[in-house]
Amino acid sequence: MLVGGIEAGGTKFVCSVGTGPEELRADTRFPTTTPDETLSRAISFFKEQEAQEEPLSAIGVASFGPVDPDPDSSTFGFITSTPKTDWANTDFVGALRDHFHVPVGFDTDVNGAALAEGKWGAAAGLHTFIYLTIGTGIGGGAMVNGRLLHGLIHPEMGHIRLHHDWERDPFPGNCPYHGDCLEGMAAGPALEERWGQKGQELEPGHPAWDLEAEYLAQALQSLVCVLSPQRIIMGGGVMNQPELITKVRQKTATYLNDYIQHPAITDHINEYIVLPALGGRAGVLGAIALGLQALE
Q: Which of 21, 26, 136, 144 binds a copy of itself (CB under 8 A)?
A: 144
Is-cis flag, bond preceding 66, omega within 30?
A: yes
Should residue 269 be labelled a site residue for a copy of itself when binding is judged by CB under 8 A? no
Q: In 3-state terms, what secondary structure has residue 281?
A: helix
Minimum distance of a copy of itself from residue 258's CB (angstroms): 8
Among residue numbers 103 through 122, which ones bind a copy of itself (CB under 8 A)?
A: none
Q: What is the DSSP string of 166-227?
A: TTT------BTTTBSSHHHHHSHHHHHHHHSS-GGGSPTT-HHHHHHHHHHHHHHHHHHHHH
Among residue numbers 204 through 233, which ones bind a copy of itself (CB under 8 A)?
A: 218-219, 221-230
Inter-residue contact 270 to 263 (CB < 8 Å): no
Minimum distance of a copy of itself from residue 199's CB (angstroms): 23
Tally Cβ neighbours within 10 Å of residue 152: 6
Q: Which of 32, 75, 80, 250 binds a copy of itself (CB under 8 A)?
A: 80
Among residue numbers 4 through 63, which ones bind a copy of itself (CB under 8 A)?
A: none
58 bridge partner residues: 3
Nearer to a copy of itself among residue 18 and residue 112 (C-beta): 112
Spatial CA neighbour of 231 closest among 172, 181, 278, 275: 275
Minimum distance of a copy of itself from residue 92's CB (angstroms): 17
Q: Which of 150, 171, 250, 295 binds a copy of itself (CB under 8 A)?
A: 150
Residue 213 makes CB contacts below 8 A (sequence gap 6+) with 244, 247, 248, 250, 251
Among residue numbers 162 through 191, which ones bind a copy of itself (CB under 8 A)?
A: 162-164, 177-178, 180
Minimum distance of a copy of itself from residue 99's CB (angstroms): 29
Dihedral over alpha carbons 244, 248, 237, 119 (to 10 degrees)? 130
Nearer to a copy of itself among residue 124 and residue 264 (C-beta): 264
Inter-residue contact 278 to 285 (CB < 8 Å): yes
With CB under 8 A as the contact rule, which of the stretches 52-60, 153-161, 198-206, 287-295 interacts with a copy of itself? 153-161
Nearer to a copy of itself among residue 117 and residue 180 (C-beta): 180
Q: Which of 259, 270, 271, 275 binds a copy of itself (CB under 8 A)?
A: 259
Distance between CA atoms of residues 141 and 202, nearest Å? 28
Residues that bind a copy of itself (CB under 8 A): 66, 80-81, 128, 140, 144-145, 147, 149-164, 177-178, 180, 218-219, 221-230, 255-262, 264-265
